[in-house]
Structure 1
């Protein structure tokens, strides 16, 4: 049910400037003064509308690609974010390969080894994390698992599409930050252990590092959980924020599993926002002349 298929949405389109240009071009010597005035007023109004449209499009584009903290001025983009997921090809949402930074800034490459069928959220989180996420609901859960270049580490990444409005998402994001819920070892995501892959032995006891990102400007939660591919148990898992600090000497830190959790979460959030940027903005209305 989660097979690749073409996205139904087209990219953002800027309005064609010619649509708004005055038809008069310049004042003809034999044109009545009233027509010249009306033409200039219409052109000025058109320029104003065009400028506002381009500014609005730029802000929406920045929000969707994650380039700034801008948020959409209305609920259209937010609403599209909640429904666009089912039309996004798998390779766009979960690219086959990802690149990021590992310990010491070294390049790190991750390869996708499994994609789970889209599903409900049952069993995907520790009970306390499931309870913490309950206020925003679960419309759909999309997951994939990646391995590093040496196949010694595996990471499950999930995109939880919520049922909540923007106010509820902002409230949940603020709560996670204020109470440090994303750093608690009793509120961890669970891995997707795909049979026949390097992640076959990736269970709850193998979890080493994780990251949870509540998107305040979209109905989505992006999370990751990483561990060792050889099935070894981890007695002291560490959130990605701590495992990627300079000088950290824990197993999740020195193995790079904290960097895996952080880097893959960041890359999938960017992929999600890029996919949303292909949803079509409402067409602008031509200024009456």
Structure 2
């Protein structure tokens, strides 16, 4: 005994074999499954490609920054005049004028022993420094760019250590000044250091720092980090003179210029740092 294929009805109430409908549904499901897997696979592949592209871009920028010390003009890294809109106490504007540029050098005698030890893990490729004075020539500030030999992992490790151990706030880890004869910074020595700021970059092999003091050569008994001197309600002579703002403001703007240089082609011409 055999049975005929069971029938169903379509939208017009016409009989049709159920097997045909099941087969059509099965085929449709299979098509959707294939299309779905294709879309998912494409999305995953796309995300991998985007991720690889982003990682490659970051690596290229990091690598490009290594050579800035000799491929970018000194006037671009340390402009003759730096505008600090809102950089002073209470949001006051600041203007800094460059009065001296140090020859690019190594780091043999560039830092006090403890700071030199703290920076040792990333090495020293080159050190660039310049000294500025404010518009009234009352304050002087040395800003430095330490180009290291470290990779991104090494810079991230140093940044983590500086952050966790608050090394940037320790007075025994202050950067050294760059005094220049015949300028307002002629008497700007180690004893005249009043405030400082240190920034370890993780997207470039560079440590940016600045150290400020009075231009009249007065000694400072209790220097104060820029972070502490800029705190609301700080009443120390260093804080009231705005020397924390001088160090932090100038360091920030030199850092911005450095980041801009990473994204722009090197400029040929005179006045290079090499």
Residues 214, 220 of structure 1: 8 Å contact kept: yes
Query: Structure 2 unaligned runs (5+)?
Result: 1-41, 267-274
Report the Cα distance in structure 2 between the residues aligned to 1:158 and 1:219, rounded to whole angstroms.
13
Matched, 1:193 2:179: yes
Moved more, 224-233 or 117-126: 117-126
Residues 84, 279 of structure 1: 8 Å contact kept: no
Structure-to-structure mapping, 1:252-267, within 5 angstroms: 252-267=238-253
Report the Cα distance in structure 1 between the residues aligned to 2:63 and 2:108, rounded to whole angstroms.
24
Matched, 1:139 2:135: no
Indicate the structure with greater helix content. Answer: 2
Query: Structure 1 unaligned runs (5+)?
Result: 1-44, 60-70, 281-289
Pairwise CA distance, 1:156: 0.2
TM-score normalised by length of structure 2: 0.75
Pairwise CA distance, 1:80: 1.2
- Tell me the matched-pair count: 218
Residues 176, 182 of structure 1: 8 Å contact kept: yes
Q: Quick one: which of 64, 75, 81 aligns to 1:80?
A: 64
* Rg larger in structure: 2
What's the counterpart of residue 150 of structure 2?
Answer: 164
Q: Quick one: which of 57, 65, 77 aligns to 1:93?
A: 77
CA offset digits 1:188-223 (Å, max 9, x no partner): 100000111000000000000000100011100000
Q: SS at 1:125's partner residue?
A: coil
Report the Cα distance in structure 2 between the residues aligned to 1:97 and 1:85, rounded to whole angstroms.
19
Residues 194, 223 of structure 2: 8 Å contact kept: yes
- Distance verdict in 2 for CA 1:72–1:176, change over 3 Å: farther
Pairwise CA distance, 1:74: 4.5
Report the Cα distance in structure 2 between the residues aligned to 1:161 and 1:192, rounded to whole angstroms.
17
Matched, 1:130 2:116: yes
Residues 136, 164 of structure 1: 8 Å contact kept: yes
Runs of 4 or more above 4 Å deviation: 71-74
Report the Cα distance in structure 2 between the residues aligned to 1:84 and 1:191, rounded to whole angstroms.
22
Residues 210, 224 of structure 1: 8 Å contact kept: yes
Pairwise CA distance, 1:84: 2.6
Residues 58, 203 of structure 2: 8 Å contact kept: no
CA offset digits 1:4-38 (Å, max 9, x no partner): xxxxxxxxxxxxxxxxxxxxxxxxxxxxxxxxxxx
- Alignment RMSD (CA, Å): 2.1
Q: SS at 1:238's partner residue?
A: coil
Q: Quick one: which of 238, 250, 261 aligns to 2:236?
A: 250
Residues 136, 163 of structure 1: 8 Å contact kept: yes
Q: SS at 1:226's partner residue?
A: strand
What's the counterpart of residue 7 of structure 1?
Answer: none
What's the counterpart of residue 109 of structure 1?
Answer: 95
